[in-house]
Amino acid sequence: MDHLPVAVFLAIESSCDETAVAILRGEPGEITEVLASEVASQIEEHREHGGVVPEVASRSHSLCLNELVEKALTTAGIGMGTVDVFGATMGPGLASSLLVGSTAAKAMSCVSGKPFVGVNHMEGHLLSPFMDKTKVPPHVGLIVSGGHTLLMQVRRAGDYVRLGTTRDDAAGEAFDKVGKMLGLPYPGGPEIEKAAQNGNPEKFAFPRSMMQGGELDFSFSGLKTAVLYTLQKNRDAKTEDVAASFQAAVVDVLVEKTMRAAKLARTDIVGLSGGVSMNKAVRDALSRRCAKEGLELAVAEPDACTDNAAMIAFAGLLRFFAGISDPLDGDIDPNLKL
């Protein structure tokens, strides 16, 4: 397909409980300019339920999406007619939520006669540390989010090899579940990080699962169960100590496996992204280990770590510049793999 040397891309992200719209301007080989990135969070709506309720999430997406699109266009200082390409997250995620964003983006594409590009949510996370670069270099990427913990070898944008994945609970899911065990507000990740600052990370010897040999897959269900048993046996255990010990176990596993992956891929660059990558203990530990091993660490900017549409637009732009567009009758895939 023909594509423009400069393109304005409007993307919608609605895979879970955040509605997001972003507009990027880019051209091949140049740094992409973020014209607008708007996010409407639903945390308060789901907090009382202790987790995301799909029906509530999809209804909220539907209610605020049009206003968010208008806000993004205003922030960018452009009209809808200026947009060259439309895109949306096609998976993985909640089916009812994905449908809201993808249907809206396809409708805009259809009405305007402009191309549509579907984007894998995890590819958006994977490439987000390089949004301020002229290209995505070969590297190993660690994605740590609420539903996924992935180690990917990136040969170039669009060419990936999965090195490690989640066998059961992802790191972010474990943070939320342990937070609930400790009676902390949802989402548990930020609350555990806050509590851990005043705790002893060596107080409880929680397990570091699947660390034998060269294993690169992740499993955090055993760690979660160990926390549960510890709380049952130690009724007077300090929340801060449990949080710190749990967090230390997660960090150890993430860092060690990432180093193994970097060695296997023979790369000197490591990328870190996903909502859990905002955790300072994770960032600091990985930064120290990369420095020790002589590796460069590329970390997504804080506002690009949690779910957002700028990362979707960036991944979509790279697909578009590679000559890829998608049919409007393509379907979402809640279990889409990267």
**Do 216 and 303 meet the contact criterion of CB atoms below 8 Å apart?**
no
- Average pLDDT of the residues in 72-84: 98
Q: Give 167-190 pLDDT, tens digit per residue.
A: 998 999 999 999 999 999 988 999
Rg (alpha carbons) of the chain, rounded to whole number: 20
Average pLDDT value over all residues in the chain = 94
Query: Given the DSSP bridges, would you call strands 149-156 and 159-164 parallel, antiparallel or unpaired?
Result: antiparallel
Is 159 found in the same domain as 189? yes
- Secondary structure class of 21 (helix, strand, coil): strand
Is 309 found in the same domain as 229? no
**323: exposed, middle or buried (Cβ count in 10 Å: 0-12, 13-18, 19+):** exposed
- 155: tokens are 């040969």
Dump the DSSP string for 232-273.
HH-TT--HHHHHHHHHHHHHHHHHHHHHHHHHHHT-SEEEEE
Beta bridge partners of 91: 120
The CATH number of residue 34's host domain is 3.30.420.40
Give the pLDDT confidence score for residue 47 in this predicted structure: 76
Is 286 found in the same domain as 314? no
With respect to residue 188, please indicate whether it lies within any of the assigned structural domains: yes
Is 250 found in the same domain as 313? no
Give the pLDDT confidence score for residue 217 in this predicted structure: 97
- Secondary structure class of 296 (helix, strand, coil): strand
Chain Cα centroid distance, residue 40: 16
In angstroms, rounded to a whole number, what is the distance separating the alpha carbons of residues 335 and 94? Answer: 9
Is 309 found in the same domain as 295? no
- How many domains does the chain divide into? 2
Give the pLDDT confidence score for residue 2 in this predicted structure: 54
Question: In sequence order, what are the residues at sequence separation of 6 or more whose Cβ sits closer than 8 angstroms to the Cβ of residue 242?
Answer: 178, 182, 199, 203, 204, 227, 230, 231
Look up tokens 């760690």; give the residue: 223
Host domain of residue 112: 7-132+305-321
The pTM is what?
Answer: 0.94
Q: Give 135-168 pLDDT, tens digit per residue.
A: 999 999 999 988 899 999 999 999 999 999 999 9
Give the pLDDT confidence score for residue 257 in this predicted structure: 97
